[in-house]
Amino acid sequence: MSDSTLSRTFAQVPAPKDVLELTKPVTWFPPMWAFMCGVVSSGASITENWLFLAVGILLTGPIVCGTSQVINDWCDREVDAINEPNRPIPSGRIPGNWGVYIALIGSTISLLVAAALGFWVLIATCVALFFGWAYSSPPFRLKKSGWLGPLVCALSYEGLSWFTGASVMLGGLPSGTILLVILLYSLGAHGIMTLNDFKAVEGDTEMGLKSLPVVMGVRNAAIFACVVMALPQLAVIGVLITQNLTISAAIVSLFLLVQLGLMVRLVGAPRKLAPWYNATGVSLYVFGMLASALGLGGYI
């Protein structure tokens, strides 16, 4: 890069507010919630490990999740220029190649912070970053698949974040029971991710994205998403019972029963009711995650 090109590049540094918008803070909550579930499930003292807790929240939310949002917008910049031209990159508020610069800087910071928190946190972060790049960018472009796209999102948002929270507090690998519960809730979150595809059936069809509502049809995809959300929760209830965590099992069971009633309504009009179910049924799902974590951590 010549001196003149370098000068022009740094003369066009984007405004902090535009960089913040690019990282989509509204998306940080799910991985931060899962991280907190991991912290609680570890049973470790929060007051004695508050610094690791604070840094871990920053890692899973603003840093890793924020970076993945930047990667996605950079890789979709040509499509967004047509469909959503007011976004930071196509609007020019993030000029030139600053989108990819920010993504690379975020990836580097993620690895440095993760390394400071421990070996297993670094491993989880490496996997999360790989998923972040593979989801959006060629040659993988996993978002084009209605099976792999939601799966890697679910594993990243729920599983790897929960794993990170437990690993940060324990200073090592979580127990087999915690790992099993993490896996089950991650698999269930595949259905949650599928719900997000109901709002863009026409656009996905036009762009060649094989989301499950496109491939299976809207109603069949809704039924599939409900089954995928429900069965892992049933398995979690079984795990909790085998661990004599009856209070947690009872709470998760109650939440699941209410979800089943809501699912019946969702299947009747999935495109219309998907946002409603996200606000109701998905909330019960994530509260069930916390109830499970409280039991595993010995709080109830």
Across 74-83, 116-125, 238-247, least confident range: 74-83
pLDDT of residue 83: 76
> Which residues are registered as beta bridge partners of 210?
145
- Rg of the chain over Cα atoms, rounded to whole angstroms, equals 20
Half-sphere exposure of 111 (CA within 13 A, CB side): 9
What share of the chain in percent tops pLDDT 90?
85
Per the structure block, which two tokens stand in for 34? Answer: 């899962």
Average pLDDT, the chain: 93
Cβ atoms < 10 Å from Cβ of 264 = 10
Phi/psi of residue 43, each to 5°?
75, 0
From the number of C-beta atoms within 10 Å of its C-beta (0-12, 13-18, 19+), residue 16 rates as exposed
Across 12-21, 43-52, 152-161, least confident range: 43-52
pLDDT of residue 6: 47
pLDDT of residue 2: 52
pLDDT (average), residues 92-117: 97
pLDDT digits (tens, 9 = 90+) for 170-211: 999 999 999 999 999 999 999 999 998 887 787 777 777 788
Q: Is 261 a residue whose pLDDT tops 90?
A: yes
pLDDT digits (tens, 9 = 90+) for 263-281: 999 999 999 999 999 999 9
Peptide bond preceding 213: is omega within 30 degrees of 0, i.e. cis?
no
| pLDDT band for position 243 (cuts 50, 70, 90) | very high
d(CA 158, CA 31): 6
Torsional sign, CA 40, 195, 60, 152: positive
| pLDDT band for position 132 (cuts 50, 70, 90) | very high
pLDDT of residue 30: 96
pLDDT of residue 82: 83
pLDDT (average), residues 106-135: 97
From the number of C-beta atoms within 10 Å of its C-beta (0-12, 13-18, 19+), residue 91 rates as middle
pLDDT digits (tens, 9 = 90+) for 157-168: 999 999 999 999
Residue with tokens 């066009």: 12
Per the structure block, which two tokens stand in for 265? Answer: 């309504």
Q: Is 28 a residue whose pLDDT tops 80?
A: yes
Coil vs helix vs strand at 187: helix
Coil vs helix vs strand at 145: strand
| pLDDT band for position 10 (cuts 50, 70, 90) | low
Residue with tokens 């840093």: 63
Torsional sign, CA 141, 37, 64, 183: negative
Coil vs helix vs strand at 210: strand
pLDDT of residue 8: 54
d(CA 60, CA 260): 30
d(CA 187, CA 109): 28
On whether the pTM is more than 0.85, the answer is: yes
